[in-house]
Amino acid sequence: MSKFLFIQTLGCAMNVRDSEHIIAELQKSADYKLTDDLTKADLILINTCSVREKPVHKLFSEIGAFEKAKKSGAKIGVLGCTASHLGAEIFKRAPYVDFVLGARNTSKIVAALNSPKFISTDINYDDSEYAFGDFRSSPYKAYVNIMIGCDKKCTYCIVPQTRGDEISIPLNLILKEVEKAATNGAKEIFLLGQNVNNYGKRFSNSHKKVDFSDLLNEISQVNGVERIRFTSPHPLHMDDKFLDVFVNNNKICKSMHMPLQSGSTKILKDMKRGYTKEWFLNRALKLRNICPEVCISTDIIVAYPGESNDDFEDTMDVINQVKFEQIFSFKFSPRPLTPAANLIPIEDNIASMRLKMLQDRHTQILDEIMLKQNGKKFEVYFEELRENNQVAGRTFSNFSVLVKGSEELLGKILEVEIIEPKRMVLYGKVIS
């Protein structure tokens, strides 16, 4: 008889894909079926994030609630980045946890399930050539990992400690996965890695020389692929060749994530980001110039230790010049095992004030951007049913669109006219 699996995923898109891999392995080798009813589950998994302090606290409150609600005999496993960084401490703080499996050890899930108090948090483990089973949460959009780990070692970031060094996945394995997803109906391929435009730097085994631009060109030729997205590229590696392929390949969605972190060259140097304010502005403004329809998103950390008012003003200046369509902004959060962990923090009230100033300015910019979309026509790929007979999709440049309709729109790319722009979403009507 099948057993039931409940899985909760926190963190980034890489965790979403890791959870899909876990589900596939458990369906294939242990006959599990997914449930969203925790009390029915024989196995409860939480795939965790460590990037800031808050999600780590969330882990312990969540698993405490799981332990109370679960049926007798059900197992609890902790996966992902916090599993990597806290390791055996999780057993100490939550003795009812059955196993701990670090972010880079996903392919060991069946072994973890079958040995008492299994723990594996090895950040040198290499499953870059492991062929995971098949499971996708959406038939329309396929996440595909192109690398594991990260070599960058930005001073504030815990990811290199949880996911280890960067290794690229061989081109033929990526293409095989893309072909399979496209054959199964996914028109959109979403490439994932911590540093995607550094693809090809290092493989586990000998491999022909290939870079991210080559990879994009190869994927765009796969039958059935209509849209390609990727995250995260690094501003440092946005050379002219990469921008040229981005603009001229008509399968690549015109949406670029450019994680700025700070607009101050001094703070960028302290963070070891490898680029200056001028380099970032040069790349972003060039991109706006050669690709007027592009949407640019970014990540920003305010109040990194040592950030002066002038440094913060530099960040605001970049925001005013680039006018990002989307900003993910965070207060600096000291993370264990990182070089920035022991620096003298900026007072929290100053950090909060800067975060608010930045977010308020972004809201003004966003309102102007969204208003300008009124009456425009976009090709929208419909992916999700929403309540009140609404269907959600995205434009090629990544605006979120809602129209009235039913499931027959799902999986289709249709022309939509915008009739009511709101701050977070454009309301439209299908015109063809």
Interface residues toward ligand SF4, by CB under 6 A: 150, 152-154, 157, 159-160, 194-195, 234
- Asked if residues 8 and 36 have their Cβ atoms less than 8 Å apart, the reply is no
Interaction between residue 197 and ligand F3S (CB under 6 A): no
C-alpha span between 197 and 389 (Å, rounded): 39
Tell me, rounded to whole angstroms, the distance of Cα 308 from its chain centroid: 30
Both structure tokens of 318: 């970049």
| Residue among 26, 5, 20, 15 at smallest CA distance from 110 | 26
Interface with ligand F3S in residues 409-428 (CB under 6 A): none
Per CB under 6 A, the segment of 110-118, 151-159, 201-209, 245-253 that binds ligand SAH is 151-159
Side by side, the strands of the sheet bearing 326-331 are 255-257, 295-302, 326-331
Interaction between residue 332 and ligand SAH (CB under 6 A): yes
CB-based contacts of 383: which residues, under 8 Å, 6+ apart? Answer: 138, 140, 141, 188, 392, 393, 394, 410, 411
Interface with ligand SAH in residues 211-250 (CB under 6 A): 232, 234
Would residue 389 be called left, alpha or beta, if left means φ above 0 and alpha means ψ between -120 and 50 degrees?
A: left
In whole angstroms, the minimum distance from the beta carbon of 233 to ligand SF4 comes to 10
The item of ligand F3S, ligand SF4, ligand SAH, none sharing an interface with residue 199, based on CB under 5 to 8 Å by kind, is none
Interaction between residue 101 and ligand F3S (CB under 6 A): no
Interaction between residue 333 and ligand SAH (CB under 6 A): yes
Contact letters (x/-) for ligand SAH, 387-416, by CB under 6 A?
------------------------------
Contact letters (x/-) for ligand SAH, 18-57, by CB under 6 A?
---------------------------------xx-----
Instruction: Provide the greatest CA pair distance for the chain.
Output: 64
**If you write DSSP's letter for every residue of 162-178 in order, what string do you get?**
HH-S-EEPPHHHHHHHH
In whole angstroms, the minimum distance from the beta carbon of 268 to ligand F3S comes to 20
Quick one: which of 51, 191, 228, 238 contacts ligand F3S (CB under 6 A)?
51
Tokens 């620096």 found at: 343
C-alpha span between 123 and 120 (Å, rounded): 9
Which DSSP category does 355 fall into?
A: H
- Asked if residues 330 and 301 have their Cβ atoms less than 8 Å apart, the reply is yes
Interaction between residue 4 and ligand SAH (CB under 6 A): no
φ, ψ at 179 (rounded to 5°): -60, -45
In whole angstroms, the minimum distance from the beta carbon of 351 to ligand SAH comes to 10
Per CB under 6 A, the segment of 6-14, 316-324, 357-365, 373-381 that binds ligand F3S is 6-14
Tokens 């670090």 found at: 102
Quick one: which of 75, 229, 335, 394 contacts ligand SAH (CB under 6 A)?
335
Interface with ligand F3S in residues 62-91 (CB under 6 A): 80-81
CB-side neighbour CA atoms (13 Å) of 126: 11
Binding footprint of ligand F3S on the chain (CB under 6 A)? 11-12, 14-15, 49-51, 80-81, 103, 159, 162-163
Query: Which residues lie near ligand SAH (CB under 6 A)?
Result: 51-52, 156-157, 159, 194, 232, 234, 259, 261, 299, 301, 330, 332-333, 335
